[in-house]
Amino acid sequence: MDELIVRQGGCLTKMAITLDDAGRARYALRAGESRLDLNARLGQSLRLVHSGAIACTHCGRATRKSFGQGHCYPCFKRLAQCDTCIVKPETCHYFAGTCREPEWGERHCFQPHVVYLANSSGLKVGITRHTQLPTRWLDQGAIQALPILEVDTRQQSGFVEMLFKDLVADRTNWRAMLKGSIAPLDLCAERDRLFAALTGGLAELRERFGADAIRTLDAEPTRIDYPVLEPPTKVVSHNFDKTPSVGGTLMGMKGQYLMFDTGVINLRKFTGYEISVE
C-alpha cells in the first residue's frame, strides 16, 4: 500500500486520526484510495508534490480554486454544508424555509450535539455532533478535552456556545498549538466555574427549548498525546499554491498539521489537491 501511494498518489482528504487506548494519536495520510502510516515515518524524509490539479470533493469536477475546504464554487454556493450557519449554528434558518438542503439539514443538524471544553492553545469552548468525538478534538490538536453539555440540535449548541464565548475563547491559536508549550488545565474546575457564571443564561435557554433539551454531562476529561519528535520553535507555514513541493524530515503531526524540519502544512486546507508522495 505504501508503494501504491508513491506511484499513484491521489486527491488529499484530511488526515485520518485515531486515539488508541493509551491516549496516543495515530495518523494516516489519505490520498485518493491510498493510505500511509505517518507515525511509522517519524524522523524519516517525506515529500508531498502537488500536480497542480484540484478536484471538488463533492462532485469530483476539476476546479482552479478550492472553496470551503475542497469544493468547487457551484457546490460551495449550493450545499448546505457550506452555508455560514455551519460555522455559526445559532443563525440556522431551517425554520424560515430557506435551508439550502432541508433533508441534509434534518440528517445532520437535527441530532444530538455536544458542547465541550478543550485545551489546544489554552482553554476554549467548542461544539460538535456526538458522533464526532474524539475526532473533533484530534483535528484541533487538543491535549485535553471534556464534554460538558448535550443538546438536541445544532442550533441549540450554537446558542449555548454563544453564552460561553463571553467568558472563554472559541478558537485555537494554531501557532501556539503547534509549538506545544501549553500548560495542562483542570477542565472539571473550569467547567464548574463557567457553569456558576452562566447559570442564568443556561436557565433561559432551558426555558426556551425545554428542560430536557440541554443536558449536563458527567464525563471524565480525555488526555491526548501527539506523535511529535520536536515541536517547531518558529512556525513557518508551507502552501501548495505557492510551493508545489513540500517536505523534509517528518518531525510530527498535531491537529491536521504535518510538521517538517522545514516548516508546517495544514493538510485540511488543501483538501481535493492532487498530490504524489515521495
- The per-residue pLDDT for range 219-251, each reduced to its tens digit, is 999 999 999 999 998 999 999 999 999 999 999
Query: For residue 34, what pLDDT is reported?
Result: 87
- pLDDT value for 167: 97
Cα angle for residues 70, 71, 72 (degrees, 5° grid): 135
Give the chain's residues under pLDDT 70: 1-8
> Contact at 8 Å (CB) between 63 and 54?
yes
Radius of gyration of the chain (CA): 20
Question: Which residue do the cell numbers 445532520 mark?
Answer: 108
**pTM listed for this prediction:** 0.93
Q: Which residue in 203, 104, 90, 210 sits closest to 157, CA to CA? A: 90
At residue 278, the pLDDT reads 85
> Residues in the chain, how many?
278
Query: Facing residues of 126 across strands?
Result: 116
Q: What is the pLDDT of residue 1?
A: 44
